[in-house]
A and B are shown apart, each in its own frame.
Chain A
Amino acid sequence: MDAEVQEDFREFVANRSSALLKTAVLLSGGDRHAAEDLLQNALIKAAGRWHRIDEPEAYVRQILYRQQVSRWRLKWPRRELSVPELPETGSGTDASSAAELRLVMRAALARLTARQRTVLVLRYFEDLPEADVARLLGCSVGTVRSTTHRSLARLRDLAPELAALGPAGAEQQPSRDFSPVEVRP
């Protein structure tokens, strides 16, 4: 990395790190330390080919997402233990209970697997269509759809407080039930 490229890299980090860190925090389920590690790793990878990257921010974001779902960052919610009990909430629709519900949701999101959380961030925070998410993560649209479905179902499992909410569009497939049992010949 020559001096000019390095200066360009520093400038990018100074200007865009805060925004990138926000995404990394969402991907890490609110764990700031994990988010910094994630961003640092992504930037290290990007630094190696900085002079060849046309759109640095898109590139770094893609590394962030892919790191989260890559084969070594496997599906066990490794930071689950750092999350306290889900806060209790009352019911109702006033502003305070809506805020409480968001806290409950935040805690539940933290307990998803990295892969599940990443798909939800892309779908609902970045508002990307399923096909774009699939392209970004290098998987099929079917995988995006099933992961979204399973993640939303898992959120309901983790936080019974969410039961009062209406069904989501992505939840129209069979739920986590015992029937029907699929038996292939």
Chain B
Amino acid sequence: MNVEELVRDSLREQADEPMPVQPGFADRVLTARRRRRTRTLASVAAATAAVVAVAVAVPLLDSGKDDVRLASEMNPSDIIAHPDQTPPRDLIAAGNVALASYYTWSTVKQTDDRGTAVRTYWLLDQKTGKYVKTTKWSYIAVAPGMRTAAVLEKDLPAQRIGLLDLLTGEVERWIPVGRGVAGVEFSPDGSKLVATTYSTNPDLRYRADYDSDGDGKKNDWMPQFGQSGRTGFYVIDVESGEGSWSEVTYNSQDLNVRQDFAFSRDGKLVYSGLTTAPHMQYYDFEGNEVPKPANEEYVHWFNDAGLSPDGKLVAGGYAGDNKQSASELLDPYTGKRVTKVRGQQLLAWVDDKRLIAWDIPPGSNEFHNRLVLVTIGSDKVVPLSGFRKGNDGAAGRWTPIFAER
């Protein structure tokens, strides 16, 4: 017997089990349909401060938009690497994870001592499999599946969230928001968005009166630490566009000026990073503070990779020496180190055994790093991109955004 035959047998056995439908199922369907129609009409009619209205109804089945031929799926190779490209031009992927986008920073001066840090994005064009520069958006989050991105327009905080079709490059729907939003993140299953609201643009920068990067010049722009204008968050159902806003107050001394909310692993809570211990604060969707989930006790917002897909390990910090780079992997419940894996900084889990990381050649400048694939229990490091140039914050240095392909 081979795997295909076993799949067939298992499915048939499962389908042979009796599957009675409750009496009145047709009524349930018809009632739900009536409710849904009423709700859609009502939400189009009026957007209140707390409720986000549906901009356009969900596309119909036969609108032809389901003809999916995504570049990230056309190439089934387990590893798609371009070690000669920095910044990348063509799709980079490993297992079920792909580089969906990346961005660079620049500061746009507004007055002599004030400016705005602006991201320029390169977004995967799902038709061509190439990263295409866009200056249209101030913030982008890519949904798992890489078919859709949530985008914010220039001049944060923004008054609406766009859902961008990565195949056509068009915004197919706008979700209006009553309160200004400056950051968005998808839930792990892509069904929800958490949008962080701010009273002021969190990307404002002020000319530092000291030489921050040590290059001998007083020409550095810094955020005004301790003055976060964060007000709370929306949790929005992507399909319907409906959601609610929760106010969250926190001592802004313990927050970065931009401190966006993100979802817990199970998508049932949101969290915020903190600049001081306990480093993470979780909230329910009503904005109430709640304890950390047991499996996220040792998740830190500054270690990007987080929990492994099977939830058995959590990515930790740097644990290498000057001969070899390494990062630690912890038990999510005890925080004890389980093992080490190659890599300078762990960015994303590819599967339960492999991660995408930044890595440096032994003994080299810590900023001269490239994307690599590392494997638990192996010293093998597979380069995925070329090396980044320049020091932290230098123009042209790119920051990757990963998504499930």
Q: List A residues at the B interface (Cβ < 8 Å).
A: 1, 6, 9-10, 13-14, 17-18, 21-23, 25-26, 30, 40, 43-45, 47-48, 62-63, 66, 69-76, 78, 81, 98, 101-103, 105-106, 109, 115, 120-121, 124-125, 137-140, 142-143, 145-147, 149-150, 152, 155-157, 162, 165-171, 173-178, 181-185
By the criterion of a CB under 8 Å from any partner CB, how many residues of chain B are at the interface? 68
In the complex the two chains form, is B4's CB within 8 Å of A124's CB? yes
In the complex the two chains form, is A181's CB within 8 Å of B79's CB? yes
* 7 interchain pairs, CB-CB under 8 A: A1-B30, A21-B21, A30-B14, A62-B61, A66-B61, A73-B191, A78-B267
> Once bound together, how far apart are the Cα atoms of A78 and B96, in whole Å?
15
Decide if the interface of chain A is mainly helix, strand, loop or mixed.
Answer: helix
Most interface-central of B3, B28, B373 (chain A CB within 10 A): B3
In the complex the two chains form, is A162's CB within 8 Å of B3's CB? yes
In the complex the two chains form, is A125's CB within 8 Å of B11's CB? yes
- Among A21, A125, A149, A185, point to the contact of B12 (Cβ < 8 A): A125
> Once bound together, how far apart are the Cα atoms of A121 and B13, in whole Å?
13
A66-B66, A121-B11 known, 11 other contacts, Cβ within 8 Å: A9-B26, A44-B36, A78-B267, A81-B266, A102-B9, A105-B6, A105-B9, A124-B7, A143-B68, A165-B6, A166-B1
Q: A63 to chain B: closest CB distance in Å?
A: 6
Q: List B residues at the A interface (Cβ < 8 Å).
A: 1-4, 6-15, 19-21, 25-30, 32-33, 36, 61, 64, 66-70, 73-84, 90, 95-96, 143-145, 147-148, 188-191, 238-239, 266-267, 351, 373, 375, 380, 382, 404-405
Given A22-B19, A25-B14, the answer on whether A167 and B68 have CB atoms closer than 8 Å is no
CB contacts (< 8 Å) of B11 on chain A: these are 26, 109, 120-121, 124-125
In the complex the two chains form, is A125's CB within 8 Å of B15's CB? yes
Q: B78 to chain A: closest CB distance in Å?
A: 5
In the complex the two chains form, is A25's CB within 8 Å of B19's CB? yes
- Among A101, A139, A171, A183, point to the contact of B82 (Cβ < 8 A): A183
Given A13-B26, A25-B14, A40-B28, the answer on whether A138 and B1 have CB atoms closer than 8 Å is no
Given A44-B33, A137-B66, A146-B76, the answer on whether A105 and B10 have CB atoms closer than 8 Å is yes
CB contacts (< 8 Å) of B26 on chain A: these are 9-10, 13-14, 17
In the complex the two chains form, is A181's CB within 8 Å of B81's CB? yes
